[in-house]
Amino acid sequence: MQSNIKQLHEQLKAGDFLALARCITIVENELDGYASLLLQLHENRHARVIGITGPPGAGKSTLVNALLHHWLKENKKIAVIAVDPSSPFNYGALLGDRIRMSEYYTNPNIYIRSLATRGALGGLSAKIIEITDLVKEAPFDLILVETVGVGQSEIEIAGLADCTIVTLVPEAGDEVQTLKAGIMEIANIFVVNKADRVDAEGLYRNLRILAHEKANGTDEIPVIKTIATEDNGIDTLACEIKKFLADQKDLPEKRLHLITEKCWQLIQAQRMKDINHNKLKHELALAIKKEDFNLYAFTNDFLNRSAK
């Protein structure tokens, strides 16, 4: 198994899409060799991660398609990680990459993978950090991560991405004030998509006002109007993305926070690996019947006994 994992890793680094797909499946499902595979990864500073988030119906997939079209003309090699809602029956992704981005499915410069949230909060997959690190290992220039779009709780993407794009549509104008705090923390670039619709100009002005208030002497967050279905405004958006990435020198605080939280989770998992869930349940079933049962005392006792 170790030799197979090493071979897969070498194929992944060489840009083999089949090897990348297999590696993602191994990590996402924690199959044999997934820990060994993760230990072989190196931090790749070349591939930049761009997060695209926003409410359902904002046209995120259409925006991704338009950006892919733009970057292909520049001979960029791009990976797309599209995080989809989970099926309640098998935890698979409900939306398929063939349906959403079929135009680019066989393009040798584009890799597309749909992931299921599997109940994870924040609009992302539970294994999104590991999978993004895997994709970084391959020779891509850009990695696009498109989230489900679950509203204000979708802040995890800000720690994952080098540049986070918040996409809104004119119908979201009334929601901007209620989303104000969360959006301002997330966004590096605002996009008003479907800008040919009624009230688009009003939303654009409101976002410009919020961006100005947030700036406080620093550069304002750019607000770009697009009509993604017509490739309108995409050149301007791509230019702002390039400018933002070029200006970014240090590790963002949000990224450090996300990595710290992930490290904390990994440490917790290692510390908990000897805890038998069924044994815990069995002992709890007996202990809870006692009149003097105390959950916290029981937990301390159980941990002390498990550590021996």
Q: How far apart are CA 256 and CA 264, in angstroms?
A: 12
Whether this prediction's pTM lies above 0.85 is answered by: no
pLDDT score, position 88: 37
- 229-243 pLDDT tens trace: 999 999 999 999 999
Q: What confidence category does residue 288 fall into, taking pLDDT thresholds of 50, 70 and 90?
A: very high
pLDDT score, position 125: 59
- Structure-block tokens of residue 299: 């937990």
**Among the ranges given (45-49, 113-117, 164-168, 260-264), the one the predictor scored with the smallest mean pLDDT:** 113-117
Q: What confidence category does residue 117 fall into, taking pLDDT thresholds of 50, 70 and 90?
A: low
Most confident of 130-144, 168-182, 267-281: 130-144
Note the CATH architecture for domain 43-252: 3-Layer(aba) Sandwich (3.40)
- Structure-block tokens of residue 278: 């069924």
Asked if residues 84 and 180 have their Cβ atoms less than 8 Å apart, the reply is no
- 8-54 pLDDT tens trace: 999 999 999 999 999 999 998 889 998 899 999 886 668 899 999 88
- Structure-block tokens of residue 130: 């590991």
Closest Cα to residue 160, out of 262, 239, 235, 243? 262
In this structure, what DSSP letter does residue 224 have?
Answer: E
Q: Is 125 helix (H, G, I), strand (E, B) or coil?
A: coil
- 191-207 pLDDT tens trace: 999 999 988 998 899 88
Residue boundaries of the structural domains of the chain? 1-40, 43-252, 260-307
Higher pLDDT, 171 or 134: 134
Q: Is 223 helix (H, G, I), strand (E, B) or coil?
A: strand
